[in-house]
Amino acid sequence: MGLGGCIILIAVGAILTFATDWDMQGVNLDLVGVILMIVGLIGVTTFSSIARRRRVLMPPSTTVIEEDRTRRSGDGYSNGYGA
């Protein structure tokens, strides 16, 4: 369930709790609404913590490799230019 699903759960729970006055036998719609809001909030916090952890742990997308191409005199190696 993504962030959108969690927000929908919170919205449906709020509607059931605060905006309806339906009476169903054997079902407390206020309690169902509160449960949906709690589950939505848990989902939002879980989603945001996972997204924050991914953002921190992702390695950089480019790798920079630096080469030392200076010629040291007397080391016996050629730099490829015939010298």
| pLDDT per residue as tens, the chain (83 positions) | 788 999 999 999 999 999 988 888 999 999 999 999 999 999 999 998 888 777 665 566 677 677 777 766 655 555 556 55
In a domain, residue 72? The reply is no
Block residue for tokens 């449960």: 35
Phi, psi of 68 (to 5 degrees): -95, 110
Residue numbers of the domain that contains 37: 3-57
**Number of domains the chain is built from:** 1
Per DSSP, 19 falls in state I
In a domain, residue 21? The reply is yes
> Is the full-model pTM beyond 0.95?
no
In a domain, residue 37? The reply is yes
In a domain, residue 29? The reply is yes
In a domain, residue 41? The reply is yes
In a domain, residue 65? The reply is no
In a domain, residue 48? The reply is yes
In a domain, residue 27? The reply is yes
What pLDDT score does 66 carry? 75
Per the CB < 8 A criterion, the answer to whether 17 and 37 are in contact is: yes
